[in-house]
Amino acid sequence: MPSSAAIGGSELVRPPPYSSASAIVGGTVTGHHLLQIEGYTYTKEKIPNGKFKKSRLFNVGNHQWGLMYYPNGIRSEDADSISVFLYLAAAAAGHAQEQPVKARATFSMLDRAGKPVPSLTRNTGMHDFAVGRSGLGYVEFIKRELLEKSGHVRDDGFAIRCDVTVVMELRTEDRTPPLVEVPPSDLHRHLGGLLESMDGADVTFHVAGEEVRAHRYVLAARSPVFKAELFGQMKESRSSNNTVVNVDDMEAEVFRALLAFIYTDALPETKTKTNRRTSWYGMERLKLLCEEKLVEYIDRGSAATLMALAEQHHCHGLKEACFRFLESKETLNAVMATDGFLHLMQSCPSLVKDLIFRVADRHLQ
């Protein structure tokens, strides 16, 4: 309650004590530039070893950056390779000249579909850039012979993508304290309680010999597959008050985890892998959560199996994590002795080829 004081027989309401807030803000900003090489044969014939061609400048973090393309390598011993480098052309206005710009870069060869090739992606560490200094990149980004046999050159051209992440300078900003504090939404808690109580449940699932009840309108609102199954042509049987659906090839615990996510938007702890069929229900966020969780379980015994799973379900992050885990020759040799690797060779031969290219290329550098 606001305090008050009597003045001349009337009350004067005092304002609440003044408060203020500020924040020290840091972080990073990321942008990318696509360098297209058109007329690859001409560039390697006309630009000699040690010479380069610059890209157009591009902006990331208010700094101006550029790429240097060496079709015949930067050094004499690298004349059979393509070199690429990132350099700082101009710092942002107001940036102290003596202060370096901290940034890192990822160079990726793109396939014909315009997607990065995992085996031809290179990540630099954080680096202090300054205008007028040498850049940061790869002396042997790719050997020309490997590039020309890879299938990534089309109509005598190819593309390299450079992602740049810049560390922004710390700054101080004002923060106005809110006059009204609004608590976070607890809708998930109420819907989770509805799932537990089963009040008003009107659909019954038969899963692995167990009955699991739910609410058809909640399921339909969250999943297009459930909507079609419960309200469209896919419905199996319906009484006046209850719909009965049989679910095959799924454990009851996994199905309950799926329902828990639908009601609460959170993935519960479960001892089994929920990733096996969740994508069939159009639950893309659940699929990504499962993918994130599976990354934690990559080891020598599971890497090949998880890579096959990632390829089957288009889990690009999980596949890249498996690639990175297998980049060591020692680790790869151990994984090749597992049954999972035999299955990977049979089901995804092109993926195994890409993996071997990536490991070989890494150890050639």
Domain 297-364 -> CATH class: mainly alpha
* pLDDT at position 86: 97
* pLDDT at position 254: 80
17 pLDDT tier (thresholds 50, 70, 90):
low
183 burial (CB, 10 Å; 0-12 / 13-18 / 19+) is exposed
pTM: 0.46
**3-state DSSP assignment of residue 336:** helix
Calculate the average pLDDT of the chain: 84
**Inter-residue contact 338 to 329 (CB < 8 Å):** no
* pLDDT at position 362: 63
pLDDT at 3 > cutoff 60: no
pLDDT at 131 > cutoff 50: yes
Work out the average pLDDT over 23-46: 92
Contacts of 340 (CB under 8 A, 6+ apart): 301, 302, 303, 304, 305, 308
**Inter-residue contact 73 to 139 (CB < 8 Å):** yes
Question: What are the pLDDT digits (tens) for 32-43?
Answer: 999 999 999 999
Sorted by where each begins, the domain ranges of the chain are 24-172, 187-282, 297-364
* pLDDT at position 361: 66
Q: Please count the residues of the chain.
A: 365
Which tokens in the block code for residue 155? 């109509």
Which tokens in the block code for residue 299? 């080891």
Question: What are the pLDDT digits (tens) for 301-354?
Answer: 889 988 988 888 788 888 888 888 888 778 888 899 888 899 888 888 888 888
Superfamily of 187-282 according to CATH? Potassium Channel Kv1.1; Chain A (3.30.710.10)
* pLDDT at position 10: 55
The per-residue DSSP string of 32-80 comes to EEEEEEESHHHHHHHS-TT--EEPPPEEETTEEEEEEEETT-SSGGGTT
281 pLDDT tier (thresholds 50, 70, 90):
low
CATH number attached to the domain at 24-172: 2.60.210.10
* pLDDT at position 274: 46
* pLDDT at position 287: 78
* pLDDT at position 174: 82
pLDDT at 234 > cutoff 60: no
DSSP state of 263: H
251 pLDDT tier (thresholds 50, 70, 90):
confident
275 pLDDT tier (thresholds 50, 70, 90):
very low
pLDDT at 358 > cutoff 90: no
* pLDDT at position 246: 86
* pLDDT at position 8: 54
269 pLDDT tier (thresholds 50, 70, 90):
low
pLDDT at 9 > cutoff 70: no
**Inter-residue contact 142 to 120 (CB < 8 Å):** yes
Question: What are the pLDDT digits (tens) for 74-88?
Answer: 999 999 999 999 999
Distance CA 312, CA 318 (A): 11
Work out the average pLDDT over 19-27: 80
pLDDT at 202 > cutoff 80: yes
* pLDDT at position 139: 94
282 pLDDT tier (thresholds 50, 70, 90):
low
270 pLDDT tier (thresholds 50, 70, 90):
low
